[in-house]
């Protein structure tokens, strides 16, 4: 008698499985307009999916991510046809406004919230505790602005960056 109930419970939560949530991300990325003029040689959705995959897999670099892509099943999981090089990724994604990404985040967050998958993260006065990774969102040794943080390295070079 316990089996049919447990199978029913699994079916109810299929929408919270990684495959279902990744599908929401992939379909959400398909709705974001490509800011480039003309037809680029790299698919816009491949650049979006590659950036997402690189961060979700916590790859230390695009080179490490590309190695993982060729050895693993990143293509199947994330639906990436071609991974852009780091320069391509920057050029393609830099003009994308973060406001275009919010509906994708919401489409994943909402079922997690409704399915009570985030209740374990409620910490203080009903607020959620969430550890973030990748808080640096700009870094360059040549380009900088007045608001940039800067790090002086032992060899005298300077790295400029913005952090959350």
Mean pLDDT, residues 77-97: 86
47 and 10 assigned to the same domain: yes
Q: Are 151 and 159 contacting, i.e. CB atoms less than 8 angstroms apart? A: yes
140 and 160 assigned to the same domain: yes
77 and 138 assigned to the same domain: no
Determine what percent of the chain is predicted with pLDDT higher than 90.
22
155 and 95 assigned to the same domain: no
| Residue 164 pLDDT | 58
Q: What confidence tens digit (pLDDT) does each residue in 93-135 have?
A: 999 988 999 999 999 988 888 888 888 878 778 887 666 555 6
- Which CA distances in Å does 112 have to 3, 103, 104, 141? 25, 14, 13, 40
35 and 103 assigned to the same domain: yes
Q: Are 41 and 60 contacting, i.e. CB atoms less than 8 angstroms apart? A: no
Confidence of residue 76 (pLDDT cuts 50, 70, 90): confident
79 and 32 assigned to the same domain: yes
14 and 57 assigned to the same domain: yes
Confidence of residue 137 (pLDDT cuts 50, 70, 90): low
Task: Residue 117: give the domain boundaries.
Answer: 2-125
Instruction: Provide the mean pLDDT of the chain.
Output: 80
26 and 94 assigned to the same domain: yes
Mean pLDDT, residues 5-16: 54
Q: Is residue 10's pLDDT more than 50?
A: no
61 and 106 assigned to the same domain: yes
Specify the 3-state DSSP secondary structure of 124: strand
| Residue 122 pLDDT | 82
- Which CA distances in Å does 121 have to 4, 112, 118? 30, 12, 5
For the stretch 90-94, contacts whose Cβ atoms lie closer than 8 Å and that sit 24 or more positions apart, written own/partner, are 92/36, 92/40, 92/42, 92/44, 92/47, 93/47, 93/48, 93/51
Q: Are 45 and 30 contacting, i.e. CB atoms less than 8 angstroms apart? A: yes
Specify the 3-state DSSP secondary structure of 143: coil
3-state secondary structure 40-59: CCCCHHHHHHHHHHHHHCCC
pTM: 0.65
120 and 61 assigned to the same domain: yes
- In the chain, the number of structural domains is 2
């Amino acid at each position: 008698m316990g089996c049919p109930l447990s199978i029913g419970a699994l079916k109810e939560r299929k929408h919270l499985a990684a495959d279902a949530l990744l599908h929401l991300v992939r379909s959400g990325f398909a709705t974001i307009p490509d800011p480039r003029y003309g037809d680029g040689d790299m698919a816009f959705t491949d650049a979006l999916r590659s950036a997402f995959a690189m961060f979700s897999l916590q790859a230390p670099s695009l080179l490490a991510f590309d190695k993982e892509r060729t050895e693993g099943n990143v293509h199947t999981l994330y639906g990436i046809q071609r991974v852009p090089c780091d320069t391509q990724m920057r050029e393609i994604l830099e003009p994308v406004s973060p406001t275009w990404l919010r509906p994708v985040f919401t489409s994943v967050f909402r079922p997690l919230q409704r399915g009570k998958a985030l209740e374990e993260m409620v910490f203080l006065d009903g607020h959620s505790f969430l550890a973030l990774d990748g808080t640096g969102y700009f870094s360059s040794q040549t380009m900088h602005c007045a608001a940039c943080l800067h790090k002086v390295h032992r060899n005298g070079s300077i790295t400029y960056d913005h952090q959350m």
